[in-house]
């Protein structure tokens, strides 16, 4: 990163790979890619192996969810799917650090977190099938609608956190009364004005919001170094709150670090920034062709850091699970996959006529007139068809 | 002369613009190695280098704002906005800075730049990927707004836009990117801000632009089988609007229907209806009708075909106009 660069010239192709090598000594890791538990001076995972097995199960289900999404798109059942492959630990580890009373503002890729928040599969898939716009209940799920406009949600998250603060739901002696917000964004998003403004507002108001930056090394075809010449987590300090880099493929480290950040936010100590260092193993979306811009060697190198394999290795090693346990999990994943497919294929869109009623809470005559004209125009066709029969 | 897709024609036009003027820079997200998500800039970084075909950080306001500075320094940035719905983070820079600079400097300085935006729906996409933002820009004094509908226009208009001394919003009908057509290389192209009669007719004029030109031509072909002669005019320039071509047509047909994907209220149709009624009020046989998107946020893709104007809705409006 310190080598001189020509103005405007492109970053090295293997930016993700090179960075990953230098990243290790400055990032929190508690479970190595080889499945070995390691100590960190500040962070320790205190849960038991049963809890870890629970995360393994959720990561496997998230991966299955994602695989089904990709294949449903291939079959023409979905219009688009943004894969989470490779980011299971980042999503399950962070998703498990929020409480029911906390709020989450996702990007468009947090299907694993959505699953933990009980966003119904059908309601999620409707968005990508084009049968609905984002049909789930924020109050019930505490999981905001997906955001397509890069970074916009970070301001919403900050404002929501300011509301929590105004409600007096931070810093209470009774921790049950406290809440905080988890805001996801990508490495690419870190360049957006909205995102940088959200950091400023969060710091200025000491809002109880945690920025969870999923650094998956790529923003479509652009490597992270196009967005930042210093490690992203180091930026946070310049805004006035702590930044920390965590091995995003280590579910234990992600869980513990996010717990820490969320807890200090709930206690009233203000925002924090987590850079989850991970890798987008798949395409940006099903419309993308990564072979145009990155080397397969890079992807292969990251495959050895797989977030699921290391947990399996560890749990098998200590005897917490066995092959039969894994076979049961496979069966459960198959069943879940079946559920995902069935839920998707049964989805139908309501007619356009209904959408006129969703423009405003308090309807206007203008829009209602257009709706009525639309309905009678369609009725004209039906009448014509009827009479020609 | 050669046959190519509209996407390839843009690519060829951009290549010529880069060749013609070393100050021309292409600038946007994912336009380098990837060649843009629609591959409009494919191969251009390889041939012109990373200093002229520049992958920008992911921030539209940053891209347009720095383009403004580059333009002041004598460069000609050609910005690519990845999809219509992503231009809004740059809206402030476009309407408050780019559009106003010539006025602010009392006519001393312009900021010649092109902002390319793939626009329109009909591609089965998710939210923010199918919008028609043209009216916002056409409404803003100080911006010129153009849109192509054929490969030939794409090839020539992008070069003319780059050569323009004023900032140009260049709208590309993304659902027509893969349509093929003839590109005439050795010709004097139509002036950038002139409309084109796509098809002659006598009973009514369909006034349209961008993605709806093809739809209107189809409607006119069907109408012909039914014994109706429709003229189709492709505006090409949305600001300024070529009223000469429009009034020449409507003076003969005495009936006009404006067709666009953008929503109805305060869209281009409203402006054209007002101007035609000012210019030709006594001559017109019927009010100017509009066939447009409905006044709602762009809908989920499974019902977008009921939102977008189609041949039936156009012919229905023709019936109403003729029956008036
Ligand atoms: C304002 C805006 N500009 C551009 C896009 C197009 N776009 C969609 S995803 C993406 C890259 C995002 O990268 P990152 O923030 O790293 O998230 P990731 O996709 O890697 O999860 C871009 C440029 C968009 N959706 N919104
Ligand atoms: Mg990314």
Q: What is the pLDDT of residues B95-141, one digit of tens each?
A: 999 999 999 999 999 999 999 999 999 999 999 999 999 999 999 99
Are A313 and A366 within one domain?
A: no
Give CA–CA dist A23/B105, Å, rounded. Answer: 49
A297 and A379, same structural domain? no
Whether pTM > 0.90 for this model: the answer is yes
A234 plus A367 within the same structural domain: no
Question: pLDDT tens digit string along A247-261?
Answer: 999 999 999 999 999
* pLDDT of res. A7: 43
Report pLDDT digits (tens) over A271-308. 999 999 999 999 999 999 999 999 999 999 999 999 99
Q: Distance between CA B94 and CA B84 in Å, rounded?
A: 14
Residue A2 lies in a domain: no
Our mutation pick for probing the ligand 1 site, out of A19, A188, A195, counting the most ligand atoms within 8 A of Cβ, is: A188
Domain B196-323 belongs in CATH node 3.40.50.920? yes
Tens digits of residue pLDDT in A81-140: 999 999 999 999 999 999 999 999 999 999 999 999 999 999 999 999 999 999 999 999
For B35, the token pair is 């060649």
Ligand 2 center to A224 CA (angstroms): 7
Task: Write down the pLDDT at residue A384.
Answer: 83
What would the mean pLDDT of A163-174 be, rounded to a whole number? 98
**Residue A193 Cα, gap to closest chain B Cα (Å):** 7
Distance CA B322, CA A35 (A): 77
pLDDT of A11 > 50? The answer is no
ipTM above 0.90, yes or no: yes
Examine the domain organization and report whether A261 and A377 are in the same domain.
Answer: no
Model confidence at A24, in pLDDT bands (50, 70, 90)? low
Any ligand 1 atom below 6 A from CB of B62: no
Q: Is residue A227 part of a domain?
A: yes
Tell me the domain boundaries of chain B.
2-183, 196-323
Residue of A7, A352, A380 lying closest to B299 (CB–CB): A352
- pLDDT digits 0-9 by tens, B45-69: 999 999 999 999 999 999 999 999 9
Residues A382 and A267 in one domain: no
Ligand 1 contact, B86 CB (< 6 A): yes
- What gap in Å lies between CA A158 and CA A271, rounded to an integer? 9
Query: Which residues, 6+ apart, have CB-to-CB distance to A387 below 8 Å?
Result: none
| Residue ranges with strand state E in chain A | 103-105, 181-186, 209-215, 218-219, 222-223, 243-247, 272-277
Give contacts of A80 with chain B, Cβ < 8 Å. 125-126
Mutate to test the interface with A, among B49, B58, B66 (most CBs of A within 10 A): B58
Q: Say if A10 falls within a structural domain.
A: no
Is B29's C-beta closer than 6 angstroms to any atom of ligand 1?
Answer: yes
- Residue B252, H or E segment: helix B243-253
Q: Does residue B80 line the site of ligand 1, with CB under 6 A?
A: no
Cα of B164 from ligand 1 centre, angstroms: 31
User: Residue B205: pLDDT above 50?
Assistant: yes
The residue length of chain B stands at 324
CA separation for the pair A59, A319 (Å, rounded): 19
For residue A387, what pLDDT band results from cuts at 50, 70 and 90?
A: low
Q: Is A27 helix (H, G, I), strand (E, B) or coil?
A: coil
> To the nearest whole number, what is the mean pLDDT of chain A?
94
Strands B2-5 vs B180-183: parallel, antiparallel or unpaired: antiparallel
pLDDT tens digits for range A335-385: 999 999 999 999 999 999 999 999 999 999 999 999 999 999 999 988 887
Is residue A12 scored above 80 in pLDDT?
A: no
Residue A4 belongs to a domain: no
| Pick from B57, B89, B264: CB nearest A226 | B57
Query: What residues of A are in contact with residue B59 (Cβ under 8 Å)?
Result: 191-193
Q: Which of A94, A104, A66, A71 is nearest to A82 (CA)?
A: A66
Q: Is the pLDDT of residue B318 over 60?
A: yes
CATH superfamily to which B2-183 belongs: Thiamin diphosphate (ThDP)-binding fold, Pyr/PP domains (3.40.50.970)
pLDDT of residue A388: 56
Which is it for strands B114-119 and B180-183: parallel, antiparallel or unpaired? unpaired
Whether residue A305 is found in the same domain as residue A380: no
Give the count of domains, chain A: 2
* Interface test with chain A among B28, B32, B34, by most A beta carbons within 10 Å: B34
- Structural domain harbouring A238: 17-345
Assess whether A360 and A263 both reside in one domain.
no
What pLDDT shows up at residue A21? 40
Residues flanking ion ligand 2, Cβ below 5 Å: A 186-187, 216, 219
Ligand 2 geometric centre to CA of A192 (Å)? 13
SS3 content of chain A, % helix, strand, coil (to 5): 50, 10, 40
Same domain, yes or no, for A142 and A264? yes
d(CA A186, CA A91): 12
Shared-domain flag, residues A114 and A196: yes
Amino acid A1: pLDDT? 34
- Out of B35, B54, B59, the one facing A8 most closely (by C-beta) is B54
Atom number in ligand 1 closest to CA A185 = 15
Residue A5 pLDDT more than 80?
no
**A370 & A289 share domain:** no
Confirm whether B2-183 and B196-323 share one CATH topology.
yes
User: CATH number of the domain that A67 lies in?
Assistant: 3.40.50.970
Site to substitute for ligand 1 among A19, A82, A150, most atoms within 8 A of C-beta: A150
Please tell me whether residues A255 and A290 are part of one structural domain: yes
Mean pLDDT of chain B: 98
User: Within this chain, do residues A379 and A275 fall inside the same structural domain, yes or no?
Assistant: no
> Which pLDDT value is given to residue A25?
64
Please report the pLDDT score of residue A18 as a whole number: 47
> With an 8 Å Cβ cutoff, are B296 and A219 in contact?
no
- The pLDDT of residue A385 is 78
Mean pLDDT of B20-24: 98
pLDDT above 60: residue B14: yes
């Amino acid at each position: 990163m310190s080598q001189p660069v020509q103005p405007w010239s492109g970053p090295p192709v293997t930016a993700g790979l090179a960075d990953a090598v230098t990243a290790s000594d400055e990032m929190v890791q508690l479970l190595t890619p080889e499945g070995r538990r390691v100590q960190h001076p500040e962070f320790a995972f205190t849960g038991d192996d049963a809890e870890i097995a629970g995360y393994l199960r959720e990561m496997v289900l998230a991966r299955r969810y994602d695989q089904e999404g990709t294949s449903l798109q291939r079959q023409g059942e979905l219009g688009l799917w943004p894969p989470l492959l490779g980011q299971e630990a980042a999503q399950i580890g962070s998703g498990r650090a929020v409480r029911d009373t906390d709020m989450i503002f996702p990007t468009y890729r947090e299907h694993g977190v959505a699953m933990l928040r009980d966003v119904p599969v059908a309601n999620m898939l409707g968005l990508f099938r084009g049968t609905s716009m984002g049909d789930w209940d924020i109050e019930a799920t505490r999981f905001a609608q997906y955001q397509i406009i890069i970074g916009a949600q970070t301001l919403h998250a900050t404002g929501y956190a300011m509301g929590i603060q105004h409600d007096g739901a931070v810093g209470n002696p009774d921790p049950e009364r406290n809440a905080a917000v988890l805001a996801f964004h990508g490495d690419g998003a870190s360049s957006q004005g909205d995102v940088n403004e959200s950091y400023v507002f969060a710091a200025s108001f000491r809002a109880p919001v945690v920025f969870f930056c999923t650094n998956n090394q790529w923003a479509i075809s652009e490597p992270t170094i196009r967005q930042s010449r210093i490690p992203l987590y180091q930026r946070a300090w310049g805004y006035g709150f702590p930044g920390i880099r965590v091995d995003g493929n280590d579910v234990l480290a992600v869980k513990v670090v996010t717990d820490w950040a969320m807890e200090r936010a709930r206690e009233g100590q203000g925002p924090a920034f987590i850079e989850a260092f991970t890798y987008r193993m798949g395409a940006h979306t099903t419309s993308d062709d990564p072979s145009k811009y990155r080397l397969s060697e890079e992807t292969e190198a990251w495959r050895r850091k797989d977030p699921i394999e290391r947990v399996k290795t560890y749990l098998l090693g200590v005897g917490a699970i066995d092959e039969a346990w894994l076979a049961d999990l496979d069966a459960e994943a198959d069943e879940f996959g079946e559920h995902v497919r069935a839920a998707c294929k049964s989805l139908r869109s309501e007619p356009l006529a209904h959408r006129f009623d969703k423009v405003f809470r308090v309807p206007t005559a203008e829009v209602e007139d257009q709706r009525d004209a639309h309905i009678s125009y369609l009725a004209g066709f039906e009448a014509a068809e009827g009479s020609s029969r | 002369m050669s046959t190519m897709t509209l996407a390839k024609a843009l690519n060829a036009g951009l290549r010529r613009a880069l060749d013609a003027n070393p100050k021309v820079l292409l600038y946007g997200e994912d336009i380098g190695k990837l060649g843009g998500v629609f591959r409009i800039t494919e191969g251009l970084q390889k041939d012109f280098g990373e200093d002229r075909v520049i992958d920008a950080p992911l921030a539209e306001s940053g891209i347009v704002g720095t383009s403004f500075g580059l333009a002041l320094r004598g460069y000609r940035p050609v910005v690519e906005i990845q999809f219509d719905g992503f231009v809004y983070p740059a809206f402030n820079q476009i309407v408050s800075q780019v559009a106003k600079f010539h006025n602010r400097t009392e006519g001393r300085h312009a900021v010649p730049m092109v902002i390319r935006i793939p626009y329109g729906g009909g591609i089965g996409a998710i939210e923010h990927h199918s919008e028609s933002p043209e009216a916002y820009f056409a409404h803003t004094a100080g911006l010129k707004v153009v849109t192509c509908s054929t490969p030939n226009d794409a090839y020539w208009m992008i070069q003319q836009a780059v050569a323009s001394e004023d900032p140009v919003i260049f709208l590309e009908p993304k659902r027509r990117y893969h349509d093929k057509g003839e590109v005439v290389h050795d010709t004097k192209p139509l002036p950038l801000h002139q409309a084109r009669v796509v098809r002659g007719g006598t009973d009514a004029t369909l006034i349209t632009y961008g993605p709806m030109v093809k739809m209107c031509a189809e409607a006119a072909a069907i109408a012909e089988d039914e014994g109706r002669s429709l003229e189709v005019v492709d505006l090409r320039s949305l600001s300024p609007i070529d009223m000469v071509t429009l009034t020449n047509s409507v003076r003969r047909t005495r009936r006009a229907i404006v067709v666009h994907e953008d929503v109805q209220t305060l869209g281009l149709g409203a402006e054209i209806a007002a101007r035609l009624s000012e210019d030709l009020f006594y001559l017109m046989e019927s009010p100017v009708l509009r066939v447009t998107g409905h006044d709602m946020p762009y809908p989920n893709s499974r019902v977008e075909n009921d939102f977008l104007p189609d041949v039936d809705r156009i012919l229905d409006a023709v019936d109403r106009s003729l029956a008036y």
